[in-house]
């Protein structure tokens, strides 16, 4: 099963469970049914957004912690400059 299929399967399962609770097919206490269940999608959306912002911030925070990738990209830049110079393109100074 691919990751996309797995994600769709989980989303359908959660949607089915939510709709069963929302339409009172599954019985819950009245206070939960009237005060919590209607705001669950909004809560999930806000939580997902907070998670994505955290992941973005963490990626920016740890961006400089990849010295191997830095060395690799510098080597690729040098190789590209050599290839372009061999074809007669002026690429500036090293």
Residue 52 included in any domain: yes
Residue 74 included in any domain: no
Residue 77 included in any domain: no
At 68, the pLDDT band (50, 70, 90 cuts) reads: confident
Residue 34 included in any domain: yes
Query: Rounded to a whole number, what is the distance in angstroms from the first to the last CA of the chain?
Result: 48
Give the span between the Cα atoms of 18 and 37, in whole angstroms: 8
pLDDT tens sequence across 12-49: 999 999 999 999 999 899 999 999 999 999 999 999 99
Ramachandran sector of residue 24 (left: φ over 0; alpha: ψ -120 to 50; beta: rest): left
Q: Would you state the pLDDT for residue 91?
A: 82
Contact, 77 vs 92, CB < 8 A? no
Quote the number of domains for the chain.
1
Give the span between the Cα atoms of 70 and 72, in whole angstroms: 5
What range does the domain containing 7 cover?
Answer: 3-63
Residue 31 included in any domain: yes
Query: pTM above the 0.85 mark?
Result: no
Residue 83 included in any domain: no
Residue 41 included in any domain: yes
Residue 78 included in any domain: no
> Does the pLDDT value for residue 94 go beyond 70?
no
């Amino acid at each position: 099963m691919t990751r996309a299929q797995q994600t769709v399967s989980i989303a359908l399962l959660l949607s089915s469970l939510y709709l069963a609770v929302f339409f009172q097919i599954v019985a819950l206490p009245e206070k939960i049914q009237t005060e919590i269940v209607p705001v669950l999608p909004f809560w999930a959306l806000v939580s997902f957004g907070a998670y994505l912002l955290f992941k973005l911030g963490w990626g920016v925070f740890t961006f400089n912690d990849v010295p191997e990738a830095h060395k690799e990209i510098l080597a690729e830049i040098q190789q590209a400059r050599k290839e372009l110079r061999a074809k007669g393109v002026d690429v500036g100074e090293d």
